[in-house]
Amino acid sequence: MRIVDLLDERSICLDAKVSSKNETLDKAVELMNKSGKISDIEVYKKGVYAREEESTTGIGEGIAIPHCKSQSVKKAGLAAMVIKDGVDFDSLDGEPVNLLFLIAAPDTKDNIHLDVLSKLSMLLMDEEFTANLKAAKSTKEFLKIIDDAESDKDEADEAKADVSAQQGDKLVLAVTGCPTGIAHTYMAAEAIEKAAAKAGHKVKVETRGSGGAKNVLTAEEIEKADGIIVAADTQVPMARFNGKKVIIVKVADGISKADELVAKAAAGDAPVFSGADSEKKEEASKGNAGHSAYKHLMNGVSHMLPFVIGGGILVALAFLIDTICGYGSTGGGNFGSCTPLSAFFKYVGGLAMGLMVPVLAGYIAESIADRPGLAVGFAGGIIAASGNAVAAAAAGNGYLHWFTDGSLNFQGFQGIVAKYGFMNGGATVSGFLGGIVAGFLAGYLVLGLRKLCDKLPAALEGIKPTLIYPVVGILVVGILMIFVFNPLIGVINTGLASMLSSLASKNLLVVLGLILGAMMAIDMGGPINKAAYVYGTMMLSTAAELTTNGAALTDPAVQACYISMAAVMAGGMVPPVGIALACLLFPKKFTKAERNSTVSNFVMGCGFITEGAIPFAAADPGHVIPATMAGAGVAGALTAVFKCTLMAPHGGVFVFATVGNPWLYILAWLIGSAVTCVLLGLLKKNVTE
């Protein structure tokens, strides 16, 4: 594919008359639409404007390259305008724009067009090329100028020697990247290459565009480099530059200040980069700590998502298998593992879902502190997911003998460790909220350790990542999680359980249903959710005791127990379904990755797997959690109003055979899901991809 293949004669205007930036963009979008490559012109136009709001695409020298990657683009394309009188475009150099190329990129995995567009971006750095385009008398001549220049560029690239064969005493390396990875990435690369060639230096530029990293710098080249330029507005792997002189700037500076940057790099006029300083440098380039924290959080969420979806679907299949086999109303607490096949699915799916909190914490820490943070974050996440009871459970009978056997009755510090580290039971699981805390703790702890270890002798460099960081990091995070954060959650759980019991004893079932439903949606599988669920299953046990002692199923006390369990499950089914509905009705509020999980969220919601909502809540807790709490609370309250009962502890739609007033129960669930959906549409802001 060549550049001219993306251009349509109908999308070229050689004498555009425009008076403002907005009029210019509107005209360019209209030209693009004439080529038939846009399915929804309004959606595409909004995308072009959204990209322009991030930063101007007027790169200077009279050139602008607005662009948009969107689902509204059916096929990659270009539109071109020559504006002889020029137009104010808020360009980087303040000069009017005379030549504009508008890029339309489809939102697909097929990125063949990106190489073509990058080549155009680099050609536009040639003043003779742009002058010829502005002087073209016809669209055919315009296309021929591009085709000839592209052929010359291809020949020059094939003839270009490797770095070692280049002439020059100095070696300058660079990395360029912009958020969309379409134009600025390659224009900065071309500008730096030209500046280095003009100054007589060897040069190699790694581009990190939408098509992935190209021309990647080798360890040998980095070692020999006199200076390195990182001109990027996106994340670049920096650990490899540790100890080298590195200049870090925006990608726009790579285009407009290439000569200055190359001169500084070649002269070694740059600070020595330290991995321990990477967080500080990155936050300075991004603008604020909030943006940085969000990036770290999203790194954890994106890695966690496959575990939630894969494990959740397998668990839902286990419930479906047991229902098909006739255990829907008789499986009781074993529902989901009543047959060998269902037990297999539930076991594998449960293990996968059990990894989601450790993965969340591990990759938050990895984003903050690179690879050394990964192990420490994983360890903190496991403690958050397991709670302090894990060590006692591993010992079978626990460690009660420490307190019953006088010879082993530890005192002092060992007594504190025994009592608070192992004897708090299952009330210390801090779930995904604890996982987030553990991830940030681990990441910044390792950053601190790296800074402290900078003063150690060079001979100890090799043992830092394999011994010092993991041992000290895991120990400190373990102490903080076991003795501070997990017990704090335990106190909250104990208080919640007492409150629920008080409401049940006073027969405030509607209020109880409201609270139980809302609790299921606060941390979606975390400690508060589990407190509500444990209370619901406890009510089933109470109902069994009452009926064993002669109470009828219609007895108000028995009914209250079953209503409590019904409220719990309705509340737990709302978040994934409400979010899935919102993804369908309000797609602009969610990223592409989030929209792609719509079907899996419907499935998990139907299977009472609330954890499907966790990635959404972790990414935007301030808006998602209030919306899911409100919807789940409404569903829980309505189940009590409708006097719906549930006799099974799990299963979602697969155990509706055990539900009293099933149609009203479904209505309560759907109303709650609709409330969550509408609130998400109102509360969440549109996302820009």
Mean pLDDT for back-to-back runs of 10 residues, the chain (689 residues): 84 91 93 91 89 78 85 88 90 85 79 62 81 91 89 66 66 81 72 87 82 79 90 81 88 85 89 64 49 72 72 72 73 72 86 84 88 91 77 46 53 68 60 83 91 76 81 92 80 61 71 89 74 70 62 71 87 92 90 82 84 81 91 93 80 74 92 94 79
Residue 212 φ/ψ, nearest 5 degrees: 100, 180
What pLDDT, on a 0 to 100 scale, did the predictor assign at position 564? 85
Exposure on the CB side of residue 224, measured as CA atoms within 13 A: 13
**646: closest CA among 549, 525, 516?**
516
Nearest-angstrom CA–CA distance, 48 and 242? 38
Query: pTM, whole model, 2 decimals?
Result: 0.47
Alpha helices (H) along 243-355: 251-256, 258-266, 278-286, 289-324, 340-354
Retrieve residue 254's tokens: 């790579």
Nearest-angstrom CA–CA distance, 30 and 43? 13
Nearest-angstrom CA–CA distance, 559 and 20? 70
Domain spans in the chain, listed from the N-terminal domain onward: 3-110+120-158, 160-273
Exposure on the CB side of residue 133, measured as CA atoms within 13 A: 26
Identified catalytic residue from 67, 296, 623, 650: 67
In the residue annotation, 583 being an active-site residue is answered as no
Asked whether 163 and 169 are in contact (CB, 8 A), the reply is no
What pLDDT, on a 0 to 100 scale, did the predictor assign at position 284? 45
Q: How many helices (H) and strands (E) does the chain have?
A: 29, 13
Asked whether 229 and 262 are in contact (CB, 8 A), the reply is yes
Neighbours of 55 (CB within 10 A): 16
- Tokens 């030549």 -> residue: 99
N-to-C CA span, the chain: 26
CATH superfamily of 3-110+120-158: Mannitol-specific EII; Chain A (3.40.930.10)
Identified catalytic residue from 13, 68, 178, 606: 178
587 burial via Cβ count (<10 Å: 0-12, 13-18, 19+): middle
What pLDDT, on a 0 to 100 scale, did the predictor assign at position 542? 64
**217: closest CA among 276, 172, 277?**
172
DSSP β-ladder status, 97-106 and 67-70: parallel
Query: What DSSP state is assigned to residue 430?
Result: -
What pLDDT, on a 0 to 100 scale, did the predictor assign at position 634? 95
What pLDDT, on a 0 to 100 scale, did the predictor assign at position 13? 93
Choose which CATH entry (2.40.50.100, 3.40.1010.20, 3.30.43.10, 3.40.50.2300) describes domain 160-273: 3.40.50.2300
In the residue annotation, 113 being an active-site residue is answered as no
Retrieve residue 646's tokens: 């549930």
